[in-house]
């Protein structure tokens, strides 16, 4: 059953909203009555996501830049007044390689985007949620099923996604006195442009060294799952949700 447009009427910030899961999620929320803030590095891509929607706010932001993130939350505070939900989605796959094969600059860049960027945005959201009236809000972190089991040659990406789980749990615990909840959505094989080779073409590298095509599912269903988490009442929270393509080799990895 699809959520109705009336079920979310608050304000949400979506990072990485210019493509992939972020774009699909932003477009889903733009079908609701909510106010949607779209953040990402490329203004043109954000404007494409927001096209035709008067309740969209496009705020180009580099989540790895603390000053840029501060400007993002200053914009929300000044122009919207409050933040009900943060979808911490910006991320990169980073370099392919085992731990002994990854150049240090590429390792550090992956951590900067996937982990430090998420921390900076969560920190900005928590500060705003603590200060607003009524107090509180919800943070949803995009984890990935790599937070549970890695693919081969994904040491940098997998490390950040395992760390995201720790960040999620810490935010949830520390946010309790302020009515702030934090949950994680772990998505596997959503059909986006970055995942084209998994569902067709060369396929995905498997633990035995072969490559195989794997099932994918419509990215819009991942967006619907984020909407489900966002529209829960303040008395309920999803700690972890896993949504993956039916039949993908996840449970049987290794």
State pLDDT tens for residues 195-243: 777 777 778 888 888 888 888 899 999 999 999 999 999 999 999 999 9
Collect all residues with Cβ–Cβ distance below 8 Å to 128 and sequence separation of at least 6. Answer: 73, 76, 77, 82, 83, 137
Is residue 249 in some structural domain? no
Is residue 101 in some structural domain? yes
Provide the pairing of β-strand 137-142 with 204-205.
unpaired
Asked whether residue 7 carries a pLDDT value surpassing 90, the answer given is no
Is 157 designated active site?
A: yes
User: E strands, the chain, where?
Assistant: 11-15, 35-40, 56-60, 85-88, 137-142, 180-188, 190-191, 204-205, 211-212, 217-218, 240-244
Is residue 64 in some structural domain? yes
pTM of the shown model:
0.93
Tokens read off for 192: 């986006």
Collect all residues with Cβ–Cβ distance below 8 Å to 181 and sequence separation of at least 6. Answer: 137, 138, 139, 172, 175, 234, 237
Tokens read off for 60: 């180009």
> Which of 199, 200, 222 has its CA nearest to residue 23?
222
Is residue 111 in some structural domain? yes
- Among residues 29, 87, 157, 217, the one annotated as catalytic is 157
Contact 17, 38 (CB under 8 A): yes
Is residue 251 in some structural domain? no
Is residue 95 in some structural domain? yes
Total domains, the chain = 1
Is residue 214 in some structural domain? yes
Is residue 250 in some structural domain? no
Q: What is the mean pLDDT of the chain?
A: 93
Q: What is the CATH number of the domain that holds 55?
A: 3.40.50.720
Residue 46: domain span: 5-244
pLDDT band for position 163 (cuts 50, 70, 90):
very high
């Amino acid at each position: 059953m699809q959520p109705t447009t009336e079920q979310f009427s608050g304000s949400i910030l979506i990072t990485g909203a210019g493509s992939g899961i972020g774009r699909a999620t932003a477009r889903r929320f733009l079908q609701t009555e909510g106010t949607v803030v779209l953040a990402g590095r490329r203004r043109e891509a954000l404007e494409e996501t927001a096209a035709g929607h008067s309740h969209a706010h496009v705020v180009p932001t580099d989540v790895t830049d603390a000053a840029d993130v501060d400007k993002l939350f200053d914009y929300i505070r000044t122009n919207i007044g409050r933040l009900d939900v943060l979808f911490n989605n910006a991320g990169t796959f980073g370099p392919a390689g085992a731990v002994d094969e990854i150049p240090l600059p590429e390792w550090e860049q992956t951590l900067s985007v996937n982990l430090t960027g998420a921390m900076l945005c969560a920190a900005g959201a928590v500060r705003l949620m603590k200060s607003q009236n009524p107090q509180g809000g919800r943070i949803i972190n995009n984890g990935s099923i790599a937070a549970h089991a890695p693919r081969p040659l994904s040491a940098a990406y997998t490390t950040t996604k395992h760390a995201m789980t720790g960040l999620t749990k810490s935010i949830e615990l520390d946010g309790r006195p302020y009515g702030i909840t934090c949950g994680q959505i772990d998505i596997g094989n959503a059909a986006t442009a970055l995942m084209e080779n998994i569902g067709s073409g060369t396929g995905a590298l498997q633990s035995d060294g072969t490559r195989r095509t794997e099932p994918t599912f419509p990215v819009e269903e991942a967006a619907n799952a984020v909407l489900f988490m966002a529209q829960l009442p303040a008395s309920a929270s999803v700690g972890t949700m896993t949504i993956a393509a039916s039949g993908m080799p996840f449970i049987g990895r290794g």
